[in-house]
Amino acid sequence: MSGSIAYAANLSVTPAGRIYAAVKPILWLAVGLFAVEVLVMAFEIRPYYLPRPSAIASGIMATPGAYLAGLWRTFLETALGFLAGSVFGVVMAVVFHRWLALKELFFPLFIVSQTIPVIAFGAVVVLWFGNTLFAKAVISFYISFLPVTVNTLLGFSSVDPRQVQLMRSFGARDGQILRRLYLPAALPQLFVALKLASSLALVGAIVGEWFGDTTGLGVLLLQAMYNENVVGIWATIVVSACLGMGLYSLVSFAERKIVFWGGEQ
C-alpha cells in the first residue's frame, strides 16, 4: 500500500510522469479487458460462463438509466451505513478507551455481534425497518463499525506514554489529551480500518437489498439471476466493482490529505 503511494509520488515529480501515473490504471484496465475479449473469442468460451467484455459494456449501455439508478441507491445506502459505522466505531473506541470497565464489559459483546452472520441479522432488520433505504444502511453500519473500533483502539495504544505525561505536565485535562494526542495519533490506523469498512459497507448494502427492494445493485443482480441474464449479472458486477473502487479511492485520497505525516511515529 505505502509502496504504491511512494511509487506514485516518485512518478509525479515530472508533469509527464504525473499524466502517466493518472492514466496508468486506465491503460492497464483497457489492456486487461482487451485480453479477456480475445481469450473469450479464442477459446470460444460460452457467454453462459463468461460473456465478452464488449457484450457486458453494450448490456450496460442498453439500459444505462437502470444501472445509474441502482448505483445511486446502493451508493446512498453504503455511504450512510459507512459514515454511521465510522462515527459509531470511533465513538465506541473513545468510550472504551476512557472507561476501561466498559471495555471489559462490552467489547467481547462487540466481537460476538460480528459472529452473527449478516444474512440472519439482515432478515430481522428488514422486518423492523421495512424495505427502506434506512434498513439497508443499518446492515451496512452493522458490518462496518467493528474494524473501526478495533483499529482506533490499536491506534490509541500506539501513543507514547511519555507523550501523555508531557501533556499532563502542561496541566492538560483528559479531553485535551484525547483531542490533541490520542485522536490524531490513531488516524493512520483509523484509515486502514476505514478502507476496509468502505468495502464491507458496500457488501452490507447489496446483501441488504436481497431481502427485498425495488432498486439497487443487489436488486439488479437478483433480477438478472432469476432471468438467467448472464450479461446482466456481469454488468451489475462491473458496476458494483466500480462503486467499490470509487469508495476505496475516495477514502485513500482523504487518507493521503489528512495523514500527511505518514507512518512516522
In the complex, the residues that contact other proteins under the rule CB under 8 A are 160, 162-163, 165-172, 176, 180-181, 184, 187, 260-261, 264-265
Residue 84 CB neighbours (<10 A) = 18
Phi, psi of 146 (to 5 degrees): -60, -50
Distance in angstroms (rounded) separating the CA atoms of residues 16 and 243: 29
**C-alpha grid cell for residue 39?**
481469450
Nearer to other proteins, 185 or 235 (CB): 185
CB of 186 to other proteins, least distance (A): 11
Q: CB of 224: closest distance to other proteins in angstroms?
A: 47
Closest distance between other proteins and the C-beta of residue 162, in Å? 6
Cβ–Cβ under 8 Å, residues 138 and 125 = yes
Q: Which is nearer to other proteins, 117 or 161 (CB)?
A: 161
Helix (H, G, I), strand (E, B) or coil at 30: helix
Output the smallest distance, CB 155 to other proteins, in A. 13
DSSP alpha helix (H) spans, 99-182: 100-115, 118-129, 133-157, 161-169, 174-177
Q: How far is CA 36 from CA 25, 86, 161, 177, 248, in A?
A: 16, 37, 54, 54, 25
Nearer to other proteins, 170 or 226 (CB): 170
In terms of residues, how long is the chain? 265
Contacts of 59 (CB under 8 A, 6+ apart): 51, 231, 232, 234, 235
157 or 176: whose CB is closer to other proteins? Answer: 176
Closest CA to 239 of 196, 214, 202: 202
* For other proteins, the closer CB: 18 or 173: 173
Of 104 and 160, CB closest to other proteins: 160
Which class for 196: exposed (0-12), middle (13-18), buried (19 or more C-beta within 10 A)? middle
How far apart are alpha carbons 71 and 215 in whole angstroms? 9
Q: Indicate the residue among 104 and 174 with the shorter CB distance to other proteins.
A: 174
From the CB of 168, what's the least distance to other proteins, in Å?
A: 6
Q: How far is the CB of 165 from other proteins (least distance, A)?
A: 5
Residue 149: CB minimum distance to other proteins, A:
22
